[in-house]
Amino acid sequence: MQHQTVIATIANALQDTPGIRALFLSGSHASGHADDYSDVDFVLVADDGASDAVAALWRDAVAQTGEIVLWWDRLTRPALINAITADWTRTDVIVLKPDQMGHHNQAGLKPVFDPDDLHSGLAQAAPPRGTSPARLKYQFEEFIRIIGLLHLAEGRAEFINGVLGVFHLRNLLVELMIEETGAPDRGGQLNLNRLITDEQKAVLTALPPAIPERDAMIDAHLAYAKAYLPRARKLAAARGIDWPERFEEVTWAQLNRTLSVTRPYDLQ
């Protein structure tokens, strides 16, 4: 079913229901970045919030758009309901009481129906987004920690776990790159193409694959360290974050003792 039809069908099912105060689009359909592959994100405002009765009303509305083949009712978050229908339309909703809308803003929500004009009472836009210095420092330290575990994976011949290490290093590198671009609207997890630059994409594409074999595992860790750590140092300096110098120093010393590898980038 076309997304606009899904939206209209759900709105028609709920609009005149007692206790249902408003329905908004959020995510890519609110920001204007939606495409044929997007999910349909809603915020439903109900007097009773995310109650069982409201969840049942929502299920009945979604069922009018197609056969529901996946239904997660407040399974991963207290007010979140996820659904997938047989044509693989993904529909998510956050169910809130009117007084729980304070962390939303007008720019992030598009009214579907809002007879009480709750939308106008919200802040116009979210404050500038950026990862906190404490979170960034954690990410820097986590990257170094995972690099340091390389000697353990090699010593135990845990090459499958070494592949998982490469996966985590890649995620941290992607997060760093998004932070570098300062993308104001990250969207969902499958929107990376519009969040990073061509140069960043080229760096990611050139990195070696994760292969569960000793030398390949070591080479991949070093390649990610060479790609990540100089960029992370530059960002730390720009944000006034103290670099975990001693932690990185002893980590490379440990890897040199155990694996005869050296720091793969120049500190200058």
- Predicted confidence at residue 184, as pLDDT, reads 53
Q: Looking at the domain that runs over 3-121, which CATH code has it been given?
A: 3.30.460.10
Q: Whose CA is closest to 58, among 23, 25, 34?
A: 23
Q: Whose CA is closest to 112, among 12, 261, 191?
A: 12
Contacts of 179 (CB under 8 A, 6+ apart): 130, 131, 136, 235
Phi-psi bin for 31: left (phi > 0), alpha (psi -120 to 50), beta?
alpha
User: Per-residue DSSP letters for 93-118?
Assistant: EEEE-GGG-TT-BGGG-EEEE-TT-G
CATH 1.20.120 applies to domain 133-259:
yes
pTM for this model (two decimals) = 0.74
Cα 193 versus chain centre, distance: 14
Domain boundaries defined on the chain = 3-121, 133-259
Inter-CA distances, 234 with 22, 122, 213, 226, 267, Å:
46, 37, 32, 13, 11
- Predicted confidence at residue 190, as pLDDT, reads 53
Q: Is 20 helix (H, G, I), strand (E, B) or coil?
A: strand
Q: How far apart are CA 187 and CA 244, in angstroms?
A: 31
Question: Residue ranges of the chain with pLDDT lower than 70?
Answer: 127-129, 183-191
